[in-house]
Chains A and B, each alone.
Chain A
Amino acid sequence: MTNLLTIAFTAFFIENILLYQFLGVCSFIGVGKKRSSSLGMGLAVVVTIILAGMATWAIYRYVMEPLDIGYMKTIVFILVIAALVQMMETIIKKFSPALYKALGIYLPLITTNCAVLGVAITNITRDYSFAEMLVYSAAIPLGYLFVMYIYAIIREKLELNPVPKAFRGIPIAMILAALLAIIFSRFGGLI
C-alpha cells in the first residue's frame, strides 16, 4: 500500500509529466491559454491515458512477452493508442453529444500527444504490476490536469498585464512554466 502511495505521490508532484518529464509540452503551451480548454484537454488526457495504459500493459504482458516480440512495442502501442482514440471518439459521439462537444476537438490531438505513448512505455520499462500500472497511469494525467489548470489561470491573468514586447506569446509562457517547475521541483525534498 505504501508502495502505491509513493508511486502516486511521485507521479503527481515530483515526476510531474509536464514540469519534470517534459512530455506533452506541445499541448501544454498551446491549449493552456484558457481555463475551459485546459480542463477539456486535461480530462480527455486522463481518460485516454488510463485506458491506453491498461490496454497496452495487457497486450504487452499477455501477447508480446510470450511471443518474445518486445521490440515491436513502439509500433504496436502507437497503433493501439490511435485505434483507442478513434473508438473513444465514436462512442462519445454516439452516447453523449454534449460531452463530445466539450472534448471532441481535443480527442484527435491526443494521438500525437507524447504523454500517452510516454506513459505506456514507462509502464513497461519500469516493469510495473497491474496495480502499480493503474496507479501510475491515473496519477500522471491527474498531475497533467492539475498543472495545466493552474497554468491556464495564471496565463489568463497574464493577458491583462503589460509584457515586454519581445517576450509576448510563447517566451513568457516558457518563463511562467519555469517558475511553476521551480515550485514543483521542491516537492522532491519530501520523499
Chain B
Amino acid sequence: MDIKAVRDNFLKGFIKENPLFVTVLGTCPALAITTKVENAVGMGIALFFVLILSNLLVSLVTFKPKLRALVMPVRIPVYIVLIATLVVITEMLMEAFLQPLYVTLGVFIPLIVVNCIIFGRAEAYASDHKPLDSVVDGAGMALGFTMAIIIISFFREILGSGMITVWTQGNADLVFDLHFIYDFLGITPIDMFTKPVGGFVMFGLILAVLAAGANAKAEKAKLAAAGVKK
C-alpha cells in the first residue's frame, strides 16, 4: 500500500466524490443546522467520529470470508445496529461535554443513524475494502462533508446575521463580528438566510455555481480535444 493511493483515497471525499455537493447525500442536516458555522463544525465532529468507526466496524465484520458469509445476507440490520450504537455513544458524549451544542443540534444527532452518507459508505466502500483503507475513506468523506456544510453555513451566517461564530463551547469565544461591513454599506443583514428558506436558496445557488464551473471545464476540455484533432 503506497502513500499515493492512500492520499488519493483520502482526498477523493473533498472534491471528486464530495458527499454533499457531488453525490447529494445527507441533505437534511446540511439544510437544517447550517445557520451558524459553529453548528456545522459540531455536526462535522459528530459525523467524523461515527463515520470512521462505522467504516472500521463494517469492514471488520465483512473482512474475513467466514464472517462475511454469515453477515452478508442480514447486512442491513447488522449495519443499523452498529451505526445506531455509535450514534448513541456520540449522543451521550456530546450531552456530557458539549451541552449547548447538543441542545442546538437537537434531533439531528440521533438522526445521524439514518444519514445516507454513513449507510452509503458502509455499503459502497467499507463492505469490500480493508479496515485501514475504510478508515481513511471515512475520514476523507467526513471531512469533505464538514467542509461542504461549513461553506454553506459561512455564507448563510454572514449574510443572515453578519457574524461568524466559529466556536463558543466552554470558555472559548471565537466570534467574528462583521457588522461593520453592513454599517459601511448602510444596510442591515438579510434575515431570510437564517430562516429555512435561506438553506434551500444557498444550497441551490452553491450547487448551481459548482455546476457552472463543471460546465465551463467540460467545454474547455472539449475545445482542447477538438484542437488536438485538427
Contact = CB atoms under 8 A, between A and B. Distances in A.
B87 A175 contact: no
A149 B81 CA distance: 34
B87 A74 contact: yes
Interface string B83-123: 01101100110000000000000110011011110010000
Nearest to A24: B28
Contact of B197 (A169, A171, A185): A185
Interface string B39-73: 00000000000000000000000000000000000
B31 A25 contact: yes
A181 to B, nearest CB: 5
Contact of B211 (A22, A73, A167): A167
A121 B107 CA distance: 7
A24 B27 CA distance: 9
Given A29-B24, A166-B215, A178-B204, A22 B31 contact: yes
Interface string B183-217: 00000000000011111110111011101100100
Nearest to A83: B77
A175 B28 CA distance: 15
Interface stretch (A4-12, A41-49, A112-120): A112-120
Interface size class of B (residues with CB under 8 A): 35 or more
Contact of A75 (B29, B88, B215): B88
B25 interface: yes
B152 to A, nearest CB: 11
Nearest to B106: A125
Nearest to A125: B107
Given A74-B110, A175-B204, A79 B81 contact: yes
B80 interface: yes
Contact of A74 (B24, B29, B31, B113): B113
A124 to B, nearest CB: 10
B204 A172 contact: yes
A33 to B, nearest CB: 14
B32 interface: yes
B110 A181 contact: no
A135 interface: no
B204 A166 contact: no
A171 B27 contact: no
A114 B34 CA distance: 17
B200 A26 contact: no
Interface string B135-166: 00000000000000000000000000000000
A71 B77 CA distance: 20
B46 to A, nearest CB: 13
B84 A75 contact: yes
Interface in A144-191: 164-175, 177-178, 181-182, 185
Contacts of B115: 114
A162 to B, nearest CB: 15
Given A72-B88, A74-B110, A82-B80, A181 B204 contact: no
B103 to A, nearest CB: 11
A170 B116 contact: no
Contacts of B24: 29, 170
Interface of B: 24-29, 31-32, 76-77, 80-81, 84-85, 87-88, 91-92, 106-107, 110-111, 113-116, 119, 195-201, 203-205, 207-209, 211-212, 215
